[in-house]
Amino acid sequence: MVETFTPAVCGSRRRQRLALAGFALGAVAASALVGASLGAVGALLGTQLAFVVAALALLAAAREAGIVRLPLPQLRRQVPERWRSELPLPVWSVGYGIGLGLGFLTFQPVATFWVACAAAVALGKPLAAGLCFAAYGAGRALMTAWPRHGQPDPTSAVESLARRRRLLLLGNVGALLFCAGLLAAAPAAGAAVQTLGAGLDPAAAGTVLGRARMDSGSSSVLVQPRDRTPIAVPGAAAPAVDGGFLAYEDGQGVKVIDWRTEDPVARVDGQVAKPALDWPLLAFVRTDSTYKRLVVADYTNPASPVERVITRISAVNDLGRPSLAGGRIAWHKVTATSSRIYAQVLATGRRSVIARSSVFVLANPSITSRRIVWVRQNSRSCALLMRRWASPAVKRIYRTTGTTRLLWTTALTGRTAYVTRWSLGTAASTLVRVNF
């Protein structure tokens, strides 16, 4: 390819530069597209593949080191030479770039490309995978431009590189081993876990994170939009966020405000707590001496909201913080004999038991239109579990052990879950973010 992009072949130095630019553009764009597509596939699969990719990288390193013999999937083809004579320069140069930038339409001398493909799937993020793969295309383009610098003859530059093939292969083996080590060490085999500082009762909507904080026995709510100054609401607890709206408990009941302007939007007075928000729907738990009732209030007509009781339980039992999203509501019920996670479709009233146990404590579900997460606790450990609505398979995405790392309330947005992690001894709590 380096001998294709010469002034003689292209017609002039100016046309040569144009051809190189076209090739680079095609290579980078095609590589980015491959990476983004693989990342999208990974996002759909939603499985934890870090260990699989680590194993592939190890296998590839063994192949490159000559320890194992493995054929590589590849098309033993070159770019169509006739394009140079049949097509305009901008077209064939971009076409050549796309052909080589895709990666799988030509020779694969080493296994690294396929390991990178597996890693893009494991990453599960189209944008990040696209950017990483764009580097592959840039590398392809660089190899067509680089040899002419400092060398009178690009062919001799390539030959000098070819003479260092063994060294390059050893470097490739080292890089693959390094990647295998990084992937194997990835926390929770693919699920990135990060602590976000003190707080409890997370609430999440898109790029906005809300949390409660306890300071000297008094509670306040902090709303943290990305790239903006956090907004504090003193005397508030148990936040719920939906876009620009914030619901929280205060001394009088539950209040809904526009957190950007702090303008009040709605309020429910009395023995009400644990709000959930999917505006214009507001859910909360109303408690009296006999029962706890889960109520959904519809504020479509703010002047006269319509309340509906979803369920009620005896006041001695635990009716947990509900979650509202995508036309569903989820909550937990814990009694002396069992615990259950419920979900109900609001439009039809169809209720299902997502999980039940007579042994474990199942609590604090959070939902989106596609998934539900909840906490399972036993005497030795806590687990954050996830399930898609479309599949009964339950996956554990985070786990803690001991009494100093218990899990509490949760929040969910996209493929990011938030959970309160707290200590039984000190009651101190931390927010944890789990990407899965």
Which residues in this chain contact another protein in the complex, by CB under 8 A? 200-201, 212, 214, 217, 219, 237-238, 316-318, 334-339, 357-361, 377-380, 408, 420, 422, 424, 427-429
**Cβ nearer to another protein, comparing 108 with 338:** 338
**Cβ nearer to another protein, comparing 172 with 219:** 219
**Cβ nearer to another protein, comparing 201 with 278:** 201
Report, in this order, helix, strand and coil percent for the chain, each rounded to 5.
Answer: 30, 40, 30
Report the C-alpha dihedral over residues 131, 132, 133, 138, rounded to 10 degrees.
80
Cβ 331 to another protein, closest distance in Å?
A: 13
Q: Which of 218, 278, 204, 209 is nearest to 250 (CA)?
A: 218
Rounded to whole angstroms, the Cα distance separating 197 from 421 reads 10
**Cβ nearer to another protein, comparing 38 with 382:** 382
End-to-end, the C-alpha distance of the chain in Å comes to: 41
At which residue do the structure tokens 């509670």 appear?
Answer: 219
At which residue do the structure tokens 């895709």 appear?
Answer: 102
Rounded to whole angstroms, the Cα distance separating 310 from 356 reads 19
- CA distances to 86, 202, 242, 400 from 266, in Å: 70, 21, 14, 38
**Cβ nearer to another protein, comparing 274 with 328:** 274
**Cβ nearer to another protein, comparing 91 with 359:** 359
Report the C-alpha dihedral over residues 316, 319, 321, 325, rounded to 10 degrees.
-170
Cβ 270 to another protein, closest distance in Å?
A: 18
Cβ 399 to another protein, closest distance in Å?
A: 16
**Cβ nearer to another protein, comparing 79 with 406:** 406
**Cβ nearer to another protein, comparing 146 with 360:** 360
Cβ 321 to another protein, closest distance in Å?
A: 10
Distant-in-sequence, close-in-space partners of 279: CB < 8 Å, separation ≥ 6: 242, 243, 245, 256, 299
Distant-in-sequence, close-in-space partners of 23: CB < 8 Å, separation ≥ 6: 1, 5, 93, 94, 96, 97, 141, 144
Cβ 428 to another protein, closest distance in Å?
A: 7
Cβ 227 to another protein, closest distance in Å?
A: 28
Distant-in-sequence, close-in-space partners of 226: CB < 8 Å, separation ≥ 6: 207, 208
SS3 173: helix
**Cβ nearer to another protein, comparing 99 with 320:** 320
Give the pair of three-digit tokens for residue 430: 């931390």
* β-strand pairing of 361-367 with 351-357: unpaired
Cβ 24 to another protein, closest distance in Å?
A: 54
**Cβ nearer to another protein, comparing 173 with 273:** 273
Cβ 268 to another protein, closest distance in Å?
A: 19
Rounded to whole angstroms, the Cα distance separating 135 from 31 reads 8
Cβ 362 to another protein, closest distance in Å?
A: 10
Cβ 179 to another protein, closest distance in Å?
A: 39
243, 234 Cβ separation under 8 angstroms: no
Rounded to whole angstroms, the Cα distance separating 243 from 245 reads 6
**Cβ nearer to another protein, comparing 175 with 361:** 361
- CA distances to 248, 275, 284 from 253, in Å: 8, 10, 10
SS3 333: strand
Cβ 360 to another protein, closest distance in Å?
A: 7
